[in-house]
Amino acid sequence: GQSLEQPSEVTAVEGAIVQINCTYQTSGFYGLSWYQQHDGGAPTFLSYNGLDGLEETGRFSSFLSRSDSYGYLLLQELQMKDSASYFCAVKAAGNKLTFGGGTRVLVKP
Amino acid sequence: DAMVIQNPRYQVTQFGKPVTLSCSQTLNHNVMYWYQQKSSQAPKLLFHYYDKDFNNEADTPDNFQSRRPNTSFCFLDIRSPGLGDAAMYLCATSRSTSGGRTDTQYFGPGTRLTVL
């Protein structure tokens, strides 16, 4: 089975940088995905790491260390619209995703 | 724009009254997934179809069924909804199940089910 841990909530001000950590225990690991979900909305794909290292997509970056079973999502230059829940998800065989509990990010002016 | 569409966005049903949720996609993806997401929780995979092949998760209750009549459409049937089935139901698609970078799952907006 899979289990993932991420912080439940993070608060930061506009313009700041936030790092959301995700640790996982898994049987069968293909990679780590990150999704953003606004209240009442659909999860939106942000980033995927299949290999160790950093992936950068605009203001968002994601990192993976397979040996440490650890990854993080970095949100830079925070904007009010970034207030949302962020989920890490382990991708396993069959393209199945197991999601972490989600981190609620609150951006303050 | 290619997308994943779910109807209705909000569904109210009565305890024990069968309900069907629908999902359609214009991405021409081979795989369609159904997830259940309860309030403040993570999405949980119920089952998926690869083309016409149905794949049920081991812990999905028998109360939940699915149909995929063609590539574009997939339905979630809840035979006898209980109060504990109130949740957001999310449909997602992917091109295949190889698990590579290109097999990103794309989600629809969800249907919020209320059981009275």
Asked whether A60 and A48 are in contact (CB, 8 A), the reply is: no
pLDDT surpasses 80 at B16: yes
**Nearest chain B CA: its distance from A79 CA (Å):** 22
Please state the rounded mean pLDDT for residues B62-83.
Answer: 96
Kindly list the residues from chain A whose CB atom is less than 8 angstroms away from the CB atom of residue B48: 94, 96
pLDDT surpasses 90 at B101: no
Per-residue pLDDT, B68: 97
pLDDT surpasses 90 at B105: yes
Question: Which of helix, strand or coil describes residue A81?
Answer: helix
What percent of chain A is predicted at pLDDT more than 70? 99
What percent of chain B is predicted at pLDDT more than 90? 87
Per-residue pLDDT, A93: 84
Beta-carbon separation of B43 and A43 below 8 A: yes
Residue with tokens 């995979």: B45
Q: Grade residue B23 by pLDDT with cuts at 50, 70 and 90.
A: very high
Per-residue pLDDT, B1: 64
Beta-carbon separation of B108 and A42 below 8 A: yes
pLDDT surpasses 70 at A5: yes
**Cβ-based interface (< 8 Å): residues of A facing B:** 30-31, 33, 35, 40-45, 48, 50, 87, 91-102
Per-residue pLDDT, B2: 61
Peptide bond into B8 cis (omega under 30): yes
Model confidence over A6-44: pLDDT tens digits? 999 999 999 999 999 999 998 888 999 999 999 988 899
Q: Name B36's Cβ contacts closer than 8 Å, sequence gap at least 6.
A: B43, B44, B46, B85, B87, B88, B89, B90
**Nearest chain A CA: its distance from B27 CA (Å):** 15
User: What sign has the CA pseudo-torsion B109, A32, A20, A99?
Assistant: positive
Per-residue pLDDT, B97: 83
Per-residue pLDDT, B96: 85
